[in-house]
Amino acid sequence: MSIMLIDNAGATPAAMACENSDTGADTAFRLAIRSWIEENLPSDWRGRSFGATDESLSEQRRKFGALLGRAGWLTANWPTSVGGLGASAARRIAVLEELVAAGAPEPMNSNSLGIFAPTLIKYGTPDQHRKFLPDMVTHNAIWCQGFSEPEAGSDLAAISTRGEIVGDQLVITGQKIWTSYAHLADFCYILVRTERSEKRHSGLTLAILPMHQDAVDVRPLRNIAGTDEFCEVFLDGATTPMTNIVGEPGNGWSMAMYALSQERSVGLAQRSLKLRAEFTALAEIAGRELTEGNLRDNDPILTGGMVDAYVRSLVTTSMVRRAIDLDAAGKDIGTVAAMAKVFWSESHQEQMGLAAHILGSDFVSGNGVGSDWYRASVFTRAETIYGGTTQIQRNVLARSLGLPKGK
């Protein structure tokens, strides 16, 4: 049974569903995406990807996500059994490339679609697929992720939020933090501890929690960029039906690891594409500033920085594609993904430092394009923290190399 909704407006992926390795077919698929974007993306919605975390864009992101979802572009690589087209991960990346190139707003559910949806497809039941996936795709329901806690960030096994099975309900008590867009969410995919065990990775359960109930208290947190994307969530006996548990109770760790592996492949791909798009935009700004005499062409910070940023964008793309290829082949991507995460996050911070140099006082004054770059820049400070800190990722790399543990 298909649960994907298809629009009649413009080209849709259904017309390009024939999957093969022919370059002509891949080109046709990409041209269909580009044509659809031209027909469906309002001109005043373009070029705001730098401010994607700004809450003022949330409704815009929801509406455009709904358009993409109804057209089928968000689910092209999903199995046909859940309404997708069974296309390759490469074609999913092609969709992301065209969206980033057009400066399209990022769909509100991009996190859940990229991380939780593949997990639900793999471990969930057909009833759960029918109940939750369609509204996730069409953005009729907004989702958030409930993993991190005050004492469980990079050390996810330290989760202490409790889930008690009472009859046919799972009763949840505890606190989550850094929960993006929880104040806008209808559902949360949440990791809780349902059993006490000497092995910290045991006894965790992944569940789907309805957010609109009195026992869920969401408090937005103002971040350094001046937006309220992050939230803390207090749970005081929040309930969800046992039918909303994904997989078996107590086996949530493996599902959480699978979900995070999705973040480190396709999720990181989207960020690497933005890195490249930002470099292109920055090069255009630098050219204009040079023409107007605001920059010197013999400025070593400018010339050296642009070359370094260009090379870093190419290397990041190469690393991410390697991770995606390994993941598609069913191989472990831990080492490559860790390397890509470290390199991408540090490269993005370096690139934003270059943006500050090129834009000068406009970078912090809030004038024109500078305000978007400034917001993006301060938010990059979090990129070496979320999704696994740089220190944790370097530990992963050290273990893979067989290096001795530090004292």
CA angle 308, 313, 316 (to 5 degrees): 120
Task: Please name each of the domains of the chain with its CATH number.
Answer: 13-141 (1.10.540.10), 144-250 (2.40.110.10), 254-400 (1.20.140.10)
Which residues pair with residue 162 across a beta bridge?
Answer: 173, 193
pLDDT band at 367 (very low <50, low <70, confident <90, very high): low
| pLDDT tops 50 at residue 21 | no
Residue showing tokens 């002509």: 24
Mean pLDDT (the chain) is: 86
Phi, psi of 68 (to 5 degrees): -60, -40
Q: Show which residues are catalytic.
A: 263
pLDDT band at 306 (very low <50, low <70, confident <90, very high): very high
Q: Is the pTM of this model over 0.95?
A: no
Instruction: Return the CA Rg of the chain.
Output: 22
pLDDT band at 32 (very low <50, low <70, confident <90, very high): very high
Q: Tens digit of pLDDT for each residue in 262-289?
A: 887 777 888 888 899 899 989 999 999 8
Tokens of 147: 């993993």
User: In sequence order, which residues have a C-beta less than 8 Å from that of residue 247 and are 6 or more positions away?
Assistant: 123, 124, 206, 255
d(CA 405, CA 388): 19
Q: Which among 267, 265, 401 has a CA at the least distance from the CA of 332?
A: 265
| pLDDT tops 70 at residue 369 | no
User: In sequence order, which residues have a C-beta less than 8 Å from that of residue 157 and are 6 or more positions away?
Assistant: 200, 201, 204, 253
Give the pLDDT confidence score for residue 23 in this predicted structure: 65
Give the pLDDT confidence score for residue 167 in this predicted structure: 96
Higher model confidence: residue 8 or residue 178? Answer: 178
d(CA 108, CA 114): 11
Give the pLDDT confidence score for residue 19 in this predicted structure: 41
Q: Tens digit of pLDDT for each residue in 80-111?
A: 999 888 888 788 888 988 998 888 888 999 98
d(CA 378, CA 370): 12
In 41-85, alpha helices (H): 58-71
